[in-house]
Amino acid sequence: MKLEDGLEIYRRYDPKFWDFTLEVEKSAGEMAQLLVDDGYQPTPNVLTAARDLLIDIERWKAGCIEELTGHYAVQNSERDVWNAFQSALRAHTDREAILSIMLPLKGFGSSRDEQGQHSAKRASAVLRMFKPEEWGVVDWRTVAMLNLLNNTKWDVDAAMKLAQKQDFRAIYKDVPINENAAIEHNQMYRDRVTSSLRRTADVEMAIFGLTFKVWPFKGGLSISGSCIPASSTV
């Protein structure tokens, strides 16, 4: 098996979820054109669309599993969401970009966890949607699989065999992923960009897809009305 096969697994795991992924990414791309325009002043409808997009990203990050969604996005004001998106897109460094999402937005890293750290998982999902060329999501699944791939010198078959020998979910599920970890692992995605996996997000999805074979979602992805895009075209 090759790393590229993981992306195909990701696509086929749930076609409805894949369609939702493409829709959210498209909405983020359209929104980005307004966010980087220095002279643009957002209308009330656009501000609403920005927060709706954050809601969609939150649902997407949860795999459309209702009980994992959290519903934090809606707790942020429309203007705060717009400002956070704009700051992230105008950031000059990875750290600036991810902190632009984490620190001001409730549910995306603004509060500290039990270890006293700010979690960057959801913030990485926002950057992945706005900057798929440069960012992928960083969470326990990709961190665990990345470590296995590194330990096997990126021999995918060997990494998959190791993954089946132990409950890596139990090991990695509650490991804190702060901004430093998100940046470090995201760079590892970038280092694996090829002509077959042309974007950082493609590498991340391929790695994530591999995990479906060894650590399947319990009950699969729960595609429901909650995965109907809330964001409107702008």
The mean pLDDT of 215-233, rounded to a whole number, is 64
Number of Cβ within 10 Å of residue 159's Cβ equals 23
Tally of residues, the chain = 234
CA dist 136 and 200 (Å) reads: 6
Q: Indicate if the pLDDT at residue 115 is higher than 70.
A: no
Which single residue is written with the structure tokens 């002043």? 41
pLDDT for 165 = 87
Stronger pLDDT, 224 or 7, i.e. the higher one:
7
Contact 109, 166 (CB under 8 A): no
> Pick from 201, 189, 66: which is nearest to 132 by CA?
201
| Domain definitions of the chain by residue range | 3-227
pLDDT for 114 = 52
> Pick from 123, 133, 108, 233: which is nearest to 189 by CA?
133
**pLDDT band at residue 176 using 50, 70 and 90 as cut-offs:** confident
Angle CA 172–222–127, to nearest 5:
55
Kindly tell me the sign of the dihedral angle through the C-alpha atoms of 232, 50, 107, 121.
positive
Q: Indicate if the pLDDT at residue 225 is higher than 80.
A: no
CA dist 44 and 150 (Å) reads: 47
Contact 232, 49 (CB under 8 A): yes
The mean pLDDT of 192-221, rounded to a whole number, is 89
Q: Indicate if the pLDDT at residue 89 is higher than 60.
A: yes
Q: Indicate if the pLDDT at residue 159 is higher than 60.
A: yes
Q: Indicate if the pLDDT at residue 100 is higher than 80.
A: yes
Q: Indicate if the pLDDT at residue 224 is higher than 60.
A: no
Backbone φ and ψ for 107, nearest 5 degrees, come out as: 85, -5
Residue type, 230: A
Entry pTM: 0.91
3-state DSSP assignment of residue 127: helix
The mean pLDDT of 218-227, rounded to a whole number, is 59
Angle CA 99–100–106, to nearest 5:
85
Angle CA 200–173–154, to nearest 5:
45
Backbone φ and ψ for 112, nearest 5 degrees, come out as: -90, 145
Number of Cβ within 10 Å of residue 226's Cβ equals 16
The string of pLDDT tens digits covering residues 130-153 is 999 999 999 999 999 999 999 999
